[in-house]
Structure 1
Amino acid sequence: MAPLPSPQVCVTGGGGYVASWLVKLLLSRGYAVHATVRDPCDPKNAHLMQLDGAAESLRLFKADVLDSAALAAAVEGCEGVFHVASPVPADKIVDPESEVMVPAVKGTLNVLEVCSSMKVRKVVVVSSTSSVYFNPNWPQGKPKDESCWSDKKLCVEKKLWYSVAKTVAEETALEYGEKNGLNVVTVCPCLVFGPQLQPIVNASSELLIYVIKGGPNAMVDTLLHIVDVRDVADALLLVYEKQESSGRYISAPNYIKTKAMLELLKKAYPNYNYVKCKANVDQNSPLTPISSAKLKNLGWKPRELEETLLDSIEYYRKTEILQDAEGEGQACRLPDLFQILNAAEE
C-alpha cells in the first residue's frame, strides 16, 4: 500500500520569528507546508530550507497578503492555513493606515476570502494580547480573559496603532468566520521571547537585548507578560488539531515585573550592563494579569519563564548579537512598539 499523502497546510509570513518555529514544528509532525514569503531568494529566508524535512516537505511561495492571486496559489490544496504574517513596525509609525491598518486588516480579510474560496477546513489567525490589554472598563483585580477586548477609541487616542490594527483585524477575522461558515480560531500571544531561527533580529528580541545591554533610557517597573516562541508554535498547532477549539485563545502563561526580571537575569549573567529600572508611578497601568486558562484546558503546557529568558540570552551569546550591538553607531534602542515601557525623563 502506498503511504498516505502528508496533510498540507499553508503558513503566511513563513520567514518571521513565530512562523519559522511553526514551520519547523509542522515539518517535524509530518505536515507538508506551503510558506508564503515576500522573496524566496532573499537570504533572510534561507533558514527555512535548512530545517529538517524542508527539502521534501516545504515549498516557498512568493506572496504578499495584499495579493489575492499569489495567496490563492499558495493556499491551493491546503486543508489548513495559519495566518501569521503581520506588520510589527519597530520604528515610529508615521502613516498608521498604510503601515499597519491596511496590511493587518485588509491582509487578514484577503487570506480569509481565499480560504473560503478554496474550501479550507480551518484557519488559525495570530493576533496579540494588545487586542486584550487596553480595556479601562474591565473589573479591577479580575484577570483579563478572552471576553476582554481592547478599547479601539482609547488606543487611537493614545496612538497605539499596533493595538488598533490587531484588535480590528482579530474582530474582523472572527466576524468573517461566523458570517461565512469558515472555521476561524485566533491565538493572542503576549511578548514573545526565546531563541530565533531567522537571522534578522525581530522587535521583541530587540526589547530583551535592550534590557540586557542597558539601553539609554530607564524602563518602568511594570508587569510584563512573556511567552516562549516555541510554546506559541505549540499553541497554534494545538488549536489547529483540536476539533473542539473555537473563538480566541490567550497565550500569556508567565508574568513578571521588570525589576524581578532584571534580578533573575543578573543572577545568571552578572556581566552585562542591564537597563535601569524606575518605580512605576502610574498605578492604572493596563498591564494587569491575563489568563491563559482556556488554552491550558485544551492541553497546552508552556515552559517556565526562566528557561525562556536564559535560552534567549544563550542564543544571543552564541550568535554574538550582544557583541554586535556594541559596534560603532549601533546604539541599543527600544523599538517604538514598546515605548509604553519607557520611564519618563526626569
Structure 2
Amino acid sequence: MAGKTVCVTGASGFIASWIVKFLLDRGYTVRGTVRNLEKSKHLLQLPGASDRLKLVSAELLELGCFDEVVQGCDGVFHTASPIVIYATDPQAQLIGPAVDGTLNVLASCAKARTKKVILTSSTGAVYTSPNLTSTSFVDESWWSDPEFCRKNKDWYPLSKTLAEKEAWNFVEEKGLEMVVINPSFTIGPALQGSKNLTSEFILGYLNGTTKTYPNSARGFVGVKDVAMAHILAYESAHSNGRYICSGPVLHFADIVTILTKLFPTYPICAKDADETAPRVPSFTLSSHKLEDLGLHFQPIEDVLRETVTSLKESGWLP
C-alpha cells in the first residue's frame, strides 16, 4: 500500500492517532483532519510524518469542508464523532453532530468518488437492546434499539446507532463502498500524552479517587487492535459490512480485580455501587468476523499494563 493516499478525519483522537501511526508505518501518505492544529502536534512527531502526513483544519458540521481534503484519496477513515458522557442537550451535543457530521463527510466522499470508506461506529450501536440476556450471542446482525436508548437515556449509543444507519442508507443510495468497525469500550496507551475518557476511567481506580464501579458488563478492547482493525478492513478486498471489534466481555468488578492483581501498590478501593443488587450477567460478543481478516487480539491484561505505563510516562501516575 506504499504510495497510496488516505484521509483520516478527527486524526488527533485516541483511536485515530493510532490509525495514523499504523498507516504511516505501512508507507501510506496521510491527510489528517483536525479541529485544533495546536493540539495535534503529537502526530507530527510520528515516524514518517515529516514526509507523508499533512494536517488540515476542518469542522465536522461545516458543509463541504471535507471536499478538498478527500479529493484524490484512495480511502477515507471517518473516525470523528463527539463523545459526551453527561449530555445536557443530547440532540445538540451528540446526536446531531454524529449524524450530520457523518453525512457531511460521506457527501464529500461521494463527490470525490472515494474507492473505500472505513467508518468508526461502536458496539453501542449493536447491543443496547432489551433483547440482551446472559445467553445472547451478539454478532454483526444485531442493532441497538433507538427507543430503548431514548427510554434509558443512553445518548451515546443512540447517536452511534442513528449515525451508522444513516451512513448505510447514504452509501447504498450513492453507490459508495463502506465498511464499519464497531469497537467496544476501548482502552490503552494514548499517543497524545494526555488523558482521555478511558484513561481517566483507569486512573480513577488506580489513584483511589473512584470509590465505586457500576453493576455493568461490556466488551473491552485495546486501542491498537481497534486501529489495526480499521486498516485490515481497508486493505482486504473481501471486507464487507460491519465488524465487531472486541476482546472479552467483563464486568467492571473484573477490571478492578485485574488492576488490583497487576498493580497491588496502588490504593485501589472501588466497590460495587449497589452491593445489594445481583451482579449483571455477562454475554457473548463475537469478533469472529474480524478475526477472519487476520486480527489477533491483545490480552486485556497486557492492554491494562500498557495503559498504566502510558499514564506513568505522562506524569499522571507515580
TM-score (norm 2): 0.94
1:259 is matched with which residue: 244, 253, 264? 253
Following superposition of structure 1 onto structure 2, how do residues 237-252 of structure 1 map, counting pairs within 5 Å? 237-252=231-246
Q: Deviations over 1:18-68 (max 9, x none)?
A: 00000000000010000000122x1x2110100000000000011012123
Distance change (3 Å), C-alpha of 1:5 and 1:321: closer
**1:153 is aligned to 2:147:** yes
Q: Deviations over 1:82-141 (max 9, x none)?
A: 000110124x21111111112100000011111011010000000011111211125651
**1:10 is aligned to 2:7:** yes
What's the counterpart of residue 25 of structure 2?
Answer: 28
Give the gaps of 5 or more residues in structure 1.
324-346
User: Post-superposition shift, 1:158?
Assistant: 1.2
For residue 91 of structure 2, give the secondary structure of its aligned residue in structure 1: helix
1:233 is matched with which residue: 227, 235, 238? 227
Q: Distance in 2 between the 1:306 and 1:85 partners?
A: 28
What's the counterpart of residue 136 of structure 2?
Answer: 142
Q: Which amino acid aligns with 1:265?
A: L
Q: Which amino acid aligns with 1:270?
A: P
What's the counterpart of residue 72 of structure 2?
Answer: 77
2:169 is matched with which residue: 169, 175, 186? 175
Q: Distance in 2 between the 1:289 and 1:280 partners?
A: 25
CA contact (8 A) 1:26 1:33 kept: yes
Q: Which amino acid aligns with 1:18?
A: I
**1:38 is aligned to 2:32:** no
For residue 175 of structure 1, give the secondary structure of its aligned residue in structure 2: helix
User: Post-superposition shift, 1:242?
Assistant: 0.6
**1:108 is aligned to 2:118:** no
Q: Distance in 2 between the 1:151 and 1:224 partners?
A: 17
What's the counterpart of residue 49 of structure 2?
Answer: 54
User: Post-superposition shift, 1:316?
Assistant: 0.8
Q: Distance in 2 between the 1:312 and 1:99 partners?
A: 28
Q: Distance in 2 between the 1:264 and 1:139 partners?
A: 24
Distance change (3 Å), C-alpha of 1:311 and 1:133: same
Distance change (3 Å), C-alpha of 1:280 and 1:68: farther
What's the counterpart of residue 314 of structure 2?
Answer: 319
For residue 236 of structure 1, give the secondary structure of its aligned residue in structure 2: helix
Q: Distance in 1 between the 2:216 and 2:107 partners?
A: 40
Q: Distance in 1 between the 2:193 and 2:84 partners?
A: 17
CA contact (8 A) 1:211 1:274 kept: yes
Q: Distance in 1 between the 2:135 and 2:309 partners?
A: 36
Distance change (3 Å), C-alpha of 1:303 and 1:284: closer
Following superposition of structure 1 onto structure 2, how do residues 201-220 of structure 1 map, counting pairs within 5 Å? 201-220=195-214
2:157 is matched with which residue: 160, 163, 175? 163
Q: Which amino acid aligns with 2:277?
A: V
Q: Distance in 1 between the 2:303 and 2:139 partners?
A: 23
TM-score (norm 1): 0.87
What's the counterpart of residue 87 of structure 1?
Answer: 82
Q: Which amino acid aligns with 2:123?
A: T
CA contact (8 A) 1:210 1:275 kept: no
Tell me which moved more, 243-252 or 254-263: 254-263
What's the counterpart of residue 194 of structure 1?
Answer: 188
Name the count of aligned residue pairs: 316
CA contact (8 A) 1:143 1:290 kept: yes
Q: Which amino acid aligns with 2:300?
A: L
Q: Distance in 1 between the 2:134 and 2:257 partners?
A: 28
For residue 99 of structure 1, give the secondary structure of its aligned residue in structure 2: helix
Give the gaps of 5 or more residues in structure 2.
none
User: Post-superposition shift, 1:259?
Assistant: 2.6
User: Post-superposition shift, 1:273?
Assistant: 1.6
1:19 is matched with which residue: 16, 21, 26? 16
Distance change (3 Å), C-alpha of 1:219 and 1:140: closer
What's the counterpart of residue 309 of structure 1?
Answer: 304
